[in-house]
Amino acid sequence: MTTFSSRTQNTSKLDEDPAFAMHRGGKLHVTSSVDVSDHEGLSLAYTPGVARVCDAIAETPDLVETYTWKSNLVAVVTDGTAVLGLGNIGPEASLPVMEGKSLLFKQFGDVDSVPIALNCTGVDEIVETVVRMSPSFGGINLEDIAAPRCFEIEAKLRERLDIPVFHDDQHGTAIVTVAALHNAARLTGRTLADLRVVVSGAGAAGVAVTKMLIDGGIGDIAVADSKGMIYDGREGLTPVKQELASISNKAGIQGSIESALNGADVFVGLSAGEVPESVVATMAENAIVFAMANPNPEVHPDVARKYASVVATGRSDFPNQINNVLAFPGVFRGAFDVQATDITENMKLAAAKALAELVGDDLSADYVIPSSFDERVVPAVSAAVAAQARQDGVARR
């Protein structure tokens, strides 16, 4: 039996690691936004004053946006089945990541959020749970839910809720990837329409990046899963992959990803696979390599730079980090600023365009996407998202 003292000794040992030391007690706490230091403050914040506010909201429900924190509050929801590069580690083990997501929401977008790790994995269970708790929140950020369930969960929630629902693993990744690829193409004297792209990975991020690049006007794009290239007519495709096959791979490329990369302009890695140096060498002149697997990119940047004009990864210790924090705080900030009821495809494209434009004339091989700490990012992205929400008719103010 483990005693309290032995647990204390064990955790003290863990605290020698700075990561554990930072996480002790969690990374979040709730603070009051009003002063309740005397009887008057207490009577206004709670009874009897709070009753007047409750009555007003009961009579005019929209007042909840003004007189509670709902209008600036996101639920960060996971089931712990696809956590970072760790996989299905369960809801408890996912909490440090969800706390981290909430920390980033606040630090970068001044958006409040609550980490919610659910002890269920069924599509309908998750949907019903989120729908039932939705009156407390102004938006839902789905996080680290395994494909293909994540697609169905998001679609069903968007049908049933009138608040923004955003699966960051899909759309955050797509926004930043599209922005960086737009600038990489510009640096090499091309546009998205000139590029032939090969994507490794048909999970949440791979599907979303592919769809968004198609919406953004990519020349051609083909996706590979663990069985090879996805094409229309391939047997055994899931509904999600069948849809992907119907809108991508216009050239009808079959076989391995290695053969597809021969002459390709762009490689986008969103899987755990590896691409040999000899295969990267077969890509087109002025190739672009986005190897975003973490912690080990599909192609090491030092290898990719031998053949590619632009290289990006998901890591912070190399240039051009494709980091979702460049997207989700600004997206929700903009959506909340206009009380948007949805996050449309046009809003995501607007976010990508705003992000790309921040690079401006400083564009270089090591600078196709802004830093996560660039203070211009959230204002630019949120303004673009809010303006597009108004154009798309999903803004309530």
- In this prediction, residue 5 has a pLDDT band, given cuts at 50, 70 and 90, of very low
- In this prediction, residue 8 has a pLDDT band, given cuts at 50, 70 and 90, of low
- Average pLDDT of span 202-214: 96
How far is 375 from 372, CA to CA, in rounded Å?
8
383 & 333 share domain? yes
110 & 209 share domain? no
pTM of the model: 0.94
Which of 163, 187, 205 terminates a domain? The answer is 163
293: left (phi over 0), alpha (psi -120 to 50) or beta: beta
Whether residue 52 lies inside any domain: the answer is no
The answer to whether residue 11 scores a pLDDT higher than 80 is no
Structural domain range at position 133:
27-33+69-163
Whether residue 62 lies inside any domain: the answer is no
107 & 183 share domain? no
Whether residue 363 lies inside any domain: the answer is yes
The answer to whether residue 6 scores a pLDDT higher than 60 is no
The answer to whether residue 303 scores a pLDDT higher than 60 is yes
- In this prediction, residue 20 has a pLDDT band, given cuts at 50, 70 and 90, of very high
118 & 184 share domain? no
- In this prediction, residue 4 has a pLDDT band, given cuts at 50, 70 and 90, of very low
How far is 311 from 298, CA to CA, in rounded Å?
12
The model's pLDDT over 34-88, given as tens digits with 9 standing for 90+, comes to 999 999 999 999 999 999 999 999 999 999 999 999 999 999 999 999 998 789 9
Domains: count for the chain: 2
- Whole-number pLDDT of residue 294: 86
- In this prediction, residue 372 has a pLDDT band, given cuts at 50, 70 and 90, of very high
User: In the numeric block, which tokens belong to residue 260?
Assistant: 């597809």
- Whole-number pLDDT of residue 273: 85
Whether residue 256 lies inside any domain: the answer is yes
150 & 193 share domain? no
159 & 173 share domain? no
The answer to whether residue 295 scores a pLDDT higher than 90 is no
Whether residue 176 lies inside any domain: the answer is yes
CB atoms within 10 A of CB 43: 13
CB 115 within 8 A of CB 93: no
353 & 205 share domain? yes
Q: Which of 13, 27, 46, 156 is catalytic?
A: 46
Residues in the chain: 397
- In this prediction, residue 3 has a pLDDT band, given cuts at 50, 70 and 90, of low
CB 179 within 8 A of CB 321: no
- Average pLDDT of span 150-174: 97
CB-neighbour burial class of residue 124 (10 A; exposed 0-12, middle 13-18, buried 19+): exposed
**In whole numbers, what is the pLDDT of the chain averaged over residues?**
95
Element (H, E) at 288: strand 287-291
The model's pLDDT over 306-316, given as tens digits with 9 standing for 90+, comes to 999 999 999 99
Q: Which of 101, 211, 241, 348 is catalytic?
A: 101
84 & 179 share domain? no
Judge whether 67 counts as a catalytic residue.
no
Judge whether 101 counts as a catalytic residue.
yes
- Average pLDDT of span 119-123: 97
202 & 82 share domain? no
175 & 156 share domain? no
Torsion sign across C-alpha atoms 257, 258, 262, 264: positive
CB 396 within 8 A of CB 341: yes
Q: Domain holding 81: CATH number?
A: 3.40.50.10380
